[in-house]
């Protein structure tokens, strides 16, 4: 398995859980200000410019929340949440500028004595060189951006929200089927990779195989799946070896990430086990604290799992956009016919099935 390569190449991570979705998610404890500065522009149209030169590796961000330090600059620091990224907009900078030089220096000196991660000035605001020198002496990075405070707070919060989101890594395959994110799980050797490869050959997109990284987006109920960067879009097919999906099928066959909308669990066929026949008894599985729809498919020779997974995806689309569930529609149709039969007398009733050709 490619997972063996993953185990040896990423020794700083724990062993992948196969089916234990109840396993507690992980979270980053912090990120450096240097990492924040280098990567925030990769996802958003958001650029920061350095105003001073300090060791950004030595400053760390511990939470997603930001702070507007107007009261702290004015001198009230009893409830100052200094461990957050500090946002100075038009209000804060103009308040500083209206103060006399000595009062301004004293107010800012009291402000930067707290060990904050960094200061970000919005709307291209700037600080006097004397104030910048105070921040530099305190080792606090100072940045500026052309974005307004509202947009800057949105972009920074989105970035930090993703960085500090709960995540976990699982053994399985993740495929985009008709625009529906399908997570395929099951015991090793049941053919998850082969099914994923078959779906790719039929025009669907591979997100990840063997190692699937699941991340909960903030406090929402959205679970996003992505690949492991070491394994990338390589697959291991028993009897064939390693397949590079991107090289073989092109860019259309891969996806960087996808929201998980349904979990398909492959099961070994057992005569004694009872399996869902109608689809009325909907199941769910809790992943990182979020309930996701679960479909359990027994595996036996000759069963076309690929087509069934495509139908699973189509059923998700039908339910989402039209509220249609085939099992409920059939049940309602049978109930309507039975009620009609009960409404008439036995002499007037007709059989549920009638074929004139038989007569």
What residues are labeled active site? 171, 192, 210, 277
Rounded to whole angstroms, how far apart are CA atoms 54 and 139?
Answer: 6
DSSP notation for 163-216: HTS-EEEEEEEEEEETTEEEEEEESTTS-HHHHHHHHHHTT-EEEEEEEEEEEE
Please list the residues that pair with 173 across neighbouring strands.
Answer: 184, 209
β-sheet bridge partners, residue 180: 177
What DSSP designation does 24 have? Answer: P
C-alpha pair distances (Å), 3 with each of 170, 208, 228, 233, 346? 10, 12, 10, 13, 66
Distance CA(327)–CA(170), nearest Å, equals 31
Give which of 124, 125, 120, 126 is closest to 154, Cα–Cα. Answer: 120
Handedness of CA 5, 6, 12, 16 (dihedral sign): negative
CB-CB contact of 215 with 224 (8 Å): yes
Question: Alpha helix locations (H) across 47-203?
Answer: 70-74, 90-98, 101-112, 129-137, 149-163, 192-201
Task: Give the separation between CA 77 and CA 92, rounded to whole angstroms.
Answer: 15
């Amino acid at each position: 398995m490619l997972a063996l390569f993953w185990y040896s190449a990423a020794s700083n991570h724990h062993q992948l859980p196969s089916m234990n979705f109840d396993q507690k998610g992980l979270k980053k404890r912090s990120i450096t200000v240097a990492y924040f500065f280098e990567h925030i522009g990769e996802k958003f149209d958001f650029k920061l410019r350095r105003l001073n030169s300090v060791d950004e590796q030595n400053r760390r961000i511990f939470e997603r929340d930001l702070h507007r330090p107007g009261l702290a600059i004015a001198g009230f620091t009893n409830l100052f949440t200094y461990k957050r990224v500090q946002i100075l907009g038009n209000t804060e900078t103009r308040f500083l500028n209206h103060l006399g030089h000595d009062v301004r220096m004293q107010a800012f000196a009291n402000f930067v004595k707290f060990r904050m991660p960094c200061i970000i000035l919005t709307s291209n605001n700037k600080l006097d060189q004397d104030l910048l020198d105070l921040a530099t002496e305190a080792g606090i990075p100072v940045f500026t951006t052309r974005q307004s405070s509202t947009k800057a707070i949105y972009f920074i919060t989105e970035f930090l929200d993703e960085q500090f989101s709960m995540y976990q890594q699982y053994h399985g395959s993740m495929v985009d089927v008709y625009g529906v994110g399908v997570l395929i799980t099951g015991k090793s050797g049941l053919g998850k990779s082969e099914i994923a490869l078959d779906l790719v050959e039929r025009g669907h997109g591979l997100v990840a195989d063997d190692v699937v990284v699941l991340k909960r987006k903030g406090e929402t109920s959205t679970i996003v799946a992505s690949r492991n960067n070491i394994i990338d879009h390589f697959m291991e097919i028993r009897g064939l070896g390693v397949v590079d999906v991107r090289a073989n099928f092109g860019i259309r066959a891969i996806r960087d990430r996808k929201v998980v909308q349904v979990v398909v669990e492959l099961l070994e066929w057992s005569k004694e086990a009872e399996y869902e026949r109608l689809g009325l008894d909907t199941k769910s599985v809790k992943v990182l604290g979020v309930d996701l729809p679960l479909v359990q498919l027994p595996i036996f020779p000759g069963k076309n799992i690929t087509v069934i997974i495509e139908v699973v995806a189509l059923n998700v689309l039908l339910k989402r956009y039209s509220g249609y569930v085939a099992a409920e529609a059939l049940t309602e149709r049978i109930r309507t016919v039975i009620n009609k039969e009960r409404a008439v007398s036995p002499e007037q009733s007709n059989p549920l099935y009638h074929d004139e050709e038989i007569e």
